[in-house]
Structure 1
Amino acid sequence: AALEAPRALNLDSNEYFSGPYGEDVVFIANDWHTALLSCYLKSLHKSKGIYETSKVAFCIHNIVYQGRFAFADFSLLNLPDEFKSSFDFIDGYDKPVKGRKINWMKAGILESDKILTVSPYYAQELVSSEDKGVELDNIIRKTDILGIVNGMDVQEWDSLTDKYIVIKFDAST
């Protein structure tokens, strides 16, 4: 549905424009459960000349949750075999299964155009060690990861200087 919405839904209606966005869009996938978006975009759309200029930004909020499943489950994704290597993952854990697995987050990282995290510090942390990157540190190091501060602009929304706040305050008050 996310891949069809920009081409079908009237998402931008104002006095200058009305109609679907079209195909020149950036999709933002958040964490492992949306990591398949970049794979389906390539296999179902770009391979047919649809969304040729579109991009996918994959944002990591919590590296711990990666979507690791039995390798045999790859066939359930209905993706071409060319994507198997992006999902292929072997770790030292017995859960959810022992040995070879598929890792949705790994595939999202490898198949997306840009990798983002919720802060510059978190981006640095993920590539600092195997423990911090939860076994994806080597994969992430190969990308041009970018940390973007998650939250508000603290200068614009400063409770000590905001003209719309009658009683000014900060963390110490």
Structure 2
Amino acid sequence: ADKVLTVSPYYAEELISGEARGCELDNIMRLTGITGIVNGMDVSEWDPTKDKFLAVNYDITTALEGKALNKEALQAEVGLPVDRKVPLVAFIGRPEEQKGPDVMIAAIPEILKDEDVQIVLLGTGKKKFERLLKSVEEKFPGKVRAVVRFNAPLAHQMMAGADVLAVTSRFEPCGLIQLQGMRYGTPCACASTGGLVDTIVEGKTGFHMGRLSVDCNVVEPADVKKVATTLKRAVKVVGTPAYQEMVKNCMIQDLSWKAPAKNWEDVLLELGVEGSEPGVIGEEIAPLAMENVAA
């Protein structure tokens, strides 16, 4: 290849960092070079101002009340006590090793021991992880709800109603979940890997847990502590002026494909292939893609 690209700058760094994260291609990629460009997201499907799946639509000026009303709707829908003052943490993702559901589940008892918080888990995947999700709900029936089926409307409602989005990925090339969360004004408490490092700023748009082990066969006690400590730290911020500022910081961003598309174009034009030239902004984008470019 004349150029190798991947979906975030930090993931590119991880790929050349060694065998564990480079899949035994790290030596080759160090020689050839690799460029990371963060993905954009579908800002039409994920739009809190007109999302048909939300109990209440909102924008950056009405986000605090809008999110509180959506939290109450979410609590009622999943059968948790309805109380907007109780912080609510959401975990949305495929229950499989990469996403670290086992680490998240192992951290829940530690979180609930010290904090008055509700946790909603959504995802379908490997049966052993689905069983883990249901088991933690059974242990904490008034605090935890696990929905182990595909439910797109609920995912949207969780994005709007959650105070904090938990992302416990062992590795994450780019990640869309944190972009969707920020679009809805929901700060992310995330593992410090891949695109999560490039997109979540500590204290501004979320909270970093540190890097988790990539060994999918074991739940490291140190990782459980990182997840529990970070989520407890995040929950304590909910409702404060600092949290309100984080909500605004999340929502003010342009998370569309506009900037990533320009970055891709710039990199490809650098190759100097005969007949290549910059497109006219807007005209070179297919009609479907145009819908995802923020005005």
* TM-score of the aligned structures, taking structure 2 as reference length: 0.20
**Which protein is richer in strand relative to its size?**
1
TM-score w.r.t. the length of structure 1 is 0.30
- Between 1 and 2, higher relative CO (CA 8 Å, sep ≥ 6) is seen in 2
- Higher normalized helix content (fraction of residues): 2
